[in-house]
Amino acid sequence: MNTNTSDSLSESDTREVSLPVHILDRIEGRLPRSNFDTSDEYVAYVLEEVLSRVEDASDDEYESVDEREVESRLKSLGYME
């Protein structure tokens, strides 16, 4: 299955990533129950999905912190004077 991971990637479009054996074992165990032909395709798809969700998250969530509140907290913890 080649599911929207920048379509078909050639070797020159890829890099190697090391994964812990226990994660790779879990991925390989799921392959027969998926539409993916290889663990590389599965991992690429999952990472695309996760990255898409993270990138789509609103930056407003992180900017809504009140700077005065943070400064007050840092002072109370002794990090600022």
- DSSP-derived 3-state class of residue 73: helix
What is the DSSP code string of 11-40?
A: GGG-------HHHHHHHHHHGGGSS-SSHH
pLDDT tens-place string over residues 60-76: 566 666 788 888 888 88
pTM, full prediction: 0.58
The rounded distance, in Å, linking the Cα atoms of 81 and 78 is: 7
Q: Nearest-CA neighbor of 47 among 12, 4, 8?
A: 4
**pLDDT < 70 positions in the chain:** 1-9, 11, 58-65
Between CA 67 and CA 53 the distance in angstroms is: 27
